[in-house]
Structure formats: structure tokens, C-alpha cells
Amino acid sequence: ILVVLESLRKDAFTPEVMPHLTRLAERGLQANTHYAGSNGSHYGFFSLLFGRSAINYYPMLEAGVRPRLPTMLGNGGYTNLYITAANLGWVQMDEFLGEQDFQVTALASPGRSNWMLDRAVIEEARKQLNDHAGQPVFLVVFAFSTHYDYSYPDEPEYRVFSPASRP
């Protein structure tokens, strides 16, 4: 399972702030010294999946090169799943996070808050893992409510996550 949280700061990944995710991470590999391949989402995703510098983004996409990680895992018998509510075609990300390399579940729904969409993404990830129980699966979950404009539930227990000021 590769969980990508858009624009998440490292200091927010603590048991106090993210108890469920930190417990999940304890059972797997944590890349505590990993540095993003770029400060842009599409470039960072590219670097993760291709194992190459983001400077190669457009040349490799234009050449039709497939991302190494899902290709190798698919050849090894894994089912590659990608679940998100983000815009699939943003900056050509669908060219390496699309149907050619993954079974894609896109949960975009106009009018719903990003945090609601992220909850739907997590629920769908649970469902997909149950549906593929006992099978090798590479699951990429992309949540983006942690990106500007920082969408959070309005309940009191979540207000601590709200920005200090609004534009």
C-alpha cells in the first residue's frame, strides 16, 4: 500500500495527529529519510513510480515509457490499483497513473468537500483490499484534502487542523 497525502508536512505524521495512519505504517516500510523527487505532485509521483528524476517527466511521457514500479509488480503477478478523487488528467498524470498501468477507481464528485472525498477513497481502499484478500496487490491511495484549500470536517475535534487564517 502506497499512501500519498498531497502536500502533507512531515511534522504532521505523528500518533497524536494521525493515529490510524501511524499504526498502519508501523506494520510496513516507512521511508523516514525519503525526500520527494520534486515539490510538485505530478513530478513527485513520477519519481516514485519511475525511480527517476523529475527532470525526465515530459521526455519519458512523450516517449511512452511505462512506470517501472507498477510494471515490475504487474509482471510479478500483482494487481495494481489506484484510488483517488483527484483530477486524473491533471498535468498528464493519467499517462502513468491510468488504465494502462492500474485498475483505476476515480471517485470525483462535484460539490463534495475534499475531506469527504478522501474518506470515500479510504473506504474504497478498504473494500478493494477485502476484495483482493490473499492476492498480491499494489495499492496506490492518493488523498488531497491536505492540499490548499485545506478541507476539514466542521466538528469540534477537527478544528485543530483548520488553518489559522483564511484568505
Each residue of 26-53: pLDDT tens digit? 998 887 777 788 888 899 999 999 999 9
Helix (H) or strand (E) holding 164: none
Return the percentage of the chain with pLDDT > 90, whole number: 57
pLDDT, tens digit (0-9, with 9 covering 90-100), for 6-27: 888 888 888 988 888 899 889 9
Instruction: Give CA–CA dist 82/99, Å, rounded.
Output: 9
More confident residue, 85 or 146: 85
pLDDT classification of 69: cutoffs 50, 70, 90: very high
Mean pLDDT score, 91-113: 93
Cβ contact 18:39 at 8 Å: no
Instruction: Give CA–CA dist 61/49, Å, rounded.
Output: 13
3 state DSSP class of 79: strand
74: closest CA among 56, 52, 49? 49
Residue 99 has pLDDT above 90, yes or no: yes
Instruction: Give CA–CA dist 54/37, Å, rounded.
Output: 6
* Lowest pLDDT segment from 36-50, 111-125, 143-157: 143-157
pLDDT classification of 167: cutoffs 50, 70, 90: low
Mean pLDDT score, 141-163: 81
Instruction: Give CA–CA dist 34/15, Å, rounded.
Output: 19
- In eight-state DSSP terms, residue 7 is T
Determine if the pTM surpasses 0.85. yes
Mean pLDDT score, 54-79: 97
140 burial (CB, 10 Å; 0-12 / 13-18 / 19+) is: buried
Per-residue pLDDT, 38: 87
Q: Any bridge partners for residue 103, and if so which?
A: 81
CB under 8 Å to 135, separation ≥6 — which residues?
Answer: 79
In this structure, the chain runs to a length of 167
CB under 8 Å to 43, separation ≥6 — which residues?
Answer: 37, 54, 57
Cβ contact 1:28 at 8 Å: yes
C-alpha cell at 93: 498524470
Per-residue pLDDT, 84: 96
pLDDT classification of 166: cutoffs 50, 70, 90: low
